[in-house]
Each structure stands twice: as C-alpha cells, then as structure tokens.
Homo-oligomer: A and B are copies of this chain.
Amino acid sequence: MTVKPLSLHPDRLFPAETDTRNIARRLYAEVAGLPIISPHGHTDPEWWATDAPFGNAAELLLHPDHYVFRMLYSQGVSLEALGIRNPEADPRESWRLFAERYHLFRGTPSRMWLDWVFAESFGLDVLLGAETSDLYYDTITEKLATHAFRPRALFERYNIEVIATTENPLDDLRHHKAIRDSGWGGKVITAYRPDPVVDPEFEGFLDNLKTLSDLTGEDCFNWNGYLAAHRKRRAFFASMGATSTDHGHPTARTADLSSAEAEALFKRVTQPSPSAEDAELFRAQMLTEMAGMSAEDGLVMQIHPGSFRNHNPVIFERFGRDKGADIPMRTEYVEALRPLLSRYGNRSDMTIIVFTLDETVYARELAPLAGHYPALKLGPAWWFHDSPEGMRRFRENMTETAGFYNTVGFNDDTRAFLSIPARHDVARRIDCGFLARLVAEHRIEEWEAAELAVDLSYNLAKAAYKL
C-alpha cells in the first residue's frame, strides 16, 4: 500500500445535490468562524490550571478516547497493548497498532474528528496508516512539546469562548481556583455532577456521604443535613462559575414523595446494601429535589439517562470505568418524567435539559414533551449519536414537533480536547446541511435558515446555559 494524501475537503458533510450544497456552503460561511460555546464536557481543568505540555501522541489521542480504543478492542487488540493502564507499553508501538488499523474507522465520526486534528492542528498531509505511523507519532509528539500546543494556547487558537468541565460535589475545584487566580483570560467553568453522593449504588456511596459531611459541616446521614449540604456545594460551584448541574442516571425515572416518605427512604438507602428498588426510587426522588434547588438557585438542570455502565465485567475489573463498555438502553420518558414535570414543568423561569441515548423517543416522547412544557428543553444528539447520521436523525425527528427553539445547540461532551473544534465543526456542517434541505424544499426561507444557523451554532447554547 502506498502512502495516501490527507486533506479536509471544504464541502465535507454537505449534501451532494448541487443547489442544496450551495445553500449549505452559504449558511456555513456565516457560522464557521463563530466562537465555540462548550457548555457540557469532560476536559480536565488541570490542563489550563498548570498549562503543562501534553505528553506523546498515544497519551493524548489514544488513551483517553474510548471511541478509538473500543473499536480497536472490538477487532482483537488488547487494551494492555494500547497502553491503557499499562505504563510498560511503548507508546510508539501502541500508536502503531492504531495506525495499522485506521481503516477500521472508515465511516465513523472518529475518523472525521481525528483527520481534522491531524490535518488542521498538526499540519499532517498524508493519511494515517502503517507506513506513516512513525511520521505521525514523531510529528505529533514533537509539536506537543512546543508552546503553541500548550493547553492555554490551544484554547485560544480554537476560539473557545467558554468551556464547562464536570466535577462532583467532593471536588475542591482547586484547578478552577488556580485558573482564576492565574489571571489568564480563558473562561473555564465547572458543572455540578452529584452522582457519587446521589446514587446509592455508586462505588463508595457511604464514604462519599462522610466526605461530604466533612466538607460542608452538615450531617449528611440526616435527610435535612444532606439536602443542606447539596445547597452549600451548589452555591460553592456556582461561585466558581457553574451555571448547570448534570445527572447521569440509569433511567429517567423521577418521583415526588412527601417529606416523610423521602426521609424514610433516605434512611433505608444510607444503610449498607439497600435494595435495587430503593436505590432507583432514591435517584428518582433526588432528580425532583435537584429540580427544586434549581428553582431556588437558578442552575440549569441536565438529565443524562439510559446508559448501562460497565457492561463488560472483565474490562471493569481490570481497567475500571469509562473504558468503552457502556451500552445504551431503551429509555422511557413519558411516565418517568411526569412527577418532576408535574411539579416544575410549567415554570418558564427554569431550564431542564434532557438527553437520551434512545433515538426512538425523539419523535415519540421528547419532542412532544419539550413542545409543551415550558421548563423542558432538548439536549443535542448524545454520545454514540453525536455523529453525522445521528445529528441528522435528531433534527429530522425533533424539529417538526419541538421546533428549533426548544433545543439548546451543540454539546461536545468530550474529554478529547483536541477534537472539540472538529466536533463543533461537524455539528455546524450537519445543521447547515439540514437547514439547506429545508430551504431547497421551500419549507423555510434562506434568510430564516441563516438566522437559525447562528442560533444553533452559538446563540441557543449561550442562552440555555446562561453563559
């Protein structure tokens, strides 16, 4: 096999039909240069706190990207050989295993994101493959050592207006404090993700409550103390820039128990080994409690349900969480969200953003709900569906019932920092292509599409997340 060229086509992801493509080009020209609003993601605030250089190619692009190593694993490459939790692996050789199998990513969004990073960030002009593995490894690793590839320099080069990280209530937010104290102008904020102290089945739940008690001076084994501790930590997170909370539950179930019932339930789940039903009911009740606190403190609420975490016990035991073994599940919203929505759904001064991994609910459940309840908004296509076809299905299924203005723009939701501009670029291109089709089919006017393109790329996220 000979070395193949790499270049990013300016029309990539636009519909092929000539008139539609021309419209998409015009729309995209208006939004391509807009700053990035990244209101939900998992980058590490330490990067910007210390501004230390990133390591080598494998460490930056391979080890943290579960999209990449899950595909390699599915085709027989061991995680050890890729260097996952294995400091003895030679990163150059791990990279080679990836390079030799780059054809596996054909047709996947990872291929588009990575090619963008390679071409646009690192200036590479040949395709990754067995023959170019060392060239890639050396080029990337060398550039990462330069000042231009430090975290803050990339943040500025990528034109990021604001980025939110995600921390749990036990985090002291020292990195966010360091960023503020540094005088650097980049806007990096946190988000309140309380799963470790809300989910009775989370590893170390009772220990976490103990730590939360210590942190807040509240007795977190007492229902009212526990709620007070949440309020304190939410206020602290808000003081460090947080404008949102995030809740990653197995299901979308909510509950609205009486105070006495909630307190009794809390007592049961703070005993060792609570029942699965009690754990589920407690998570359900806590969504409604958190909505109530959002009604008080104004933090935007995000609900991210439906992932079967750590499906592969072999991988979980040896490599831990977040190793590409989380699998989406069917998720019900109509009955599940009703208790919460009956209580808070009619408030037009609140924002509750719901995500899903189950695309079958787009047109059937979520669009009808968000097209009615003032508090409810639709998060963008998420995780496995954060892809050209996935985003297209999102728009095709959501728009007719919910419209565009009950959606909240794009979230990259990633820990792969270098891919963030590529992800936003894919979203902008797909949205412009979708809008172009509506124009070409005379369903909206082009001037409306141009307004919408800016709204979807920038304004809606900024407004929904109060940024």
Q: Is A330 an interface residue (CB 8 A)?
A: yes
Which residue numbers of A lie inside 8 Å of B, CB to CB?
Answer: 4, 9, 11-17, 19-20, 70-71, 73-76, 103-109, 111-112, 308, 311-315, 324-330, 332, 334-335, 338, 341-342, 345-346, 348, 357-360, 363-365, 367-374, 376, 384-385, 387-390, 396-397, 399-406, 437-438, 440-445, 447-448, 451-452
CB within 8 Å for A17 and B17 given contacts A107-B443, A448-B103? yes
CA distance A93 to B26 in the complex (A): 37
In the complex, the answer to whether B13 meets A71 with C-beta atoms within 8 Å is no
In the complex, the answer to whether B373 meets A452 with C-beta atoms within 8 Å is no
CB within 8 Å for A16 and B73 given contacts A104-B403, A313-B342, A363-B390? no
In the complex, the answer to whether B403 meets A105 with C-beta atoms within 8 Å is yes
In the complex, the answer to whether A16 meets B20 with C-beta atoms within 8 Å is yes
Quick one: closest B residue to A377, CB to CB? B74
Among the listed B371, B384, B448, which residue makes an inter-chain contact with A363, where contact means beta carbons less than 8 Å apart? B384
Query: In the assembled complex, how far is the CB of residue A342 from the closest CB belonging to chain B, in whole angstroms?
Result: 5
In the complex, the answer to whether B346 meets A314 with C-beta atoms within 8 Å is yes
In the complex, the answer to whether B406 meets A74 with C-beta atoms within 8 Å is yes
Query: In the assembled complex, how far is the CB of residue A348 from the closest CB belonging to chain B, in whole angstroms?
Result: 4
Task: Show 13 residue pairs from A and B whose CB-CB distance is below 8 angstroms, ordered by the A residue.
Answer: A9-B442, A11-B442, A13-B442, A70-B372, A73-B372, A106-B403, A107-B404, A108-B400, A312-B373, A314-B346, A315-B346, A328-B334, A384-B400
Query: In the assembled complex, how far is the CB of residue A116 from the closest CB belonging to chain B, in whole angstroms?
Result: 12
Quick one: closest B residue to A406, CB to CB? B74
Query: In the assembled complex, how far is the CB of residue A112 from the closest CB belonging to chain B, in whole angstroms?
Result: 7
Quick one: closest B residue to A333, CB to CB? B327
In the complex, the answer to whether B106 meets A404 with C-beta atoms within 8 Å is yes
CA distance A434 to B16 in the complex (A): 13
**Most chain B beta-carbon neighbours within 10 Å: one of A105, A106, A359, A452:** A106
In the complex, the answer to whether B372 meets A325 with C-beta atoms within 8 Å is yes
CA distance A112 to B444 in the complex (A): 9
Can you tell how many copies of this chain the complex includes? 3
Q: Please name the 5 residue pairs, one residue from A and one from B, whose CB atoms are nearest each other, closest first.
A: A76-B348, A9-B442, A12-B442, A16-B440, A387-B400
In the complex, the answer to whether A338 meets B311 with C-beta atoms within 8 Å is yes
In the complex, the answer to whether B374 meets A74 with C-beta atoms within 8 Å is yes
In the complex, the answer to whether A308 meets B334 with C-beta atoms within 8 Å is yes
Q: What chain B residues lie within 8 Å of A19 (beta carbons)?
A: 16
Among the listed B11, B315, B389, which residue makes an inter-chain contact with A400, where contact means beta carbons less than 8 Å apart? B389
CA distance A444 to B46 in the complex (A): 36
CB within 8 Å for A372 and B312 given contacts A76-B348, A384-B401? yes
Among the listed B342, B368, B452, which residue makes an inter-chain contact with A106, where contact means beta carbons less than 8 Å apart? B452
CA distance A19 to B363 in the complex (A): 31
CA distance A374 to B79 in the complex (A): 12
Quick one: closest B residue to A9, CB to CB? B442
Q: What chain B residues lie within 8 Å of A75 (beta carbons)?
A: 348, 374, 405-406
In the complex, the answer to whether B373 meets A74 with C-beta atoms within 8 Å is yes
Query: In the assembled complex, how far is the CB of residue A5 from the closest CB belonging to chain B, in whole angstroms?
Result: 9
CA distance A373 to B73 in the complex (A): 7
**Most chain B beta-carbon neighbours within 10 Å: one of A109, A370, A442, A445:** A442
In the complex, the answer to whether B443 meets A13 with C-beta atoms within 8 Å is yes
In the complex, the answer to whether B364 meets A330 with C-beta atoms within 8 Å is yes
**Most chain B beta-carbon neighbours within 10 Å: one of A74, A360, A399, A438:** A74
In the complex, the answer to whether A443 meets B12 with C-beta atoms within 8 Å is yes
Query: In the assembled complex, how far is the CB of residue A69 from the closest CB belonging to chain B, in whole angstroms?
Result: 10
CB within 8 Å for A400 and B437 given contacts A369-B327, A372-B70? no
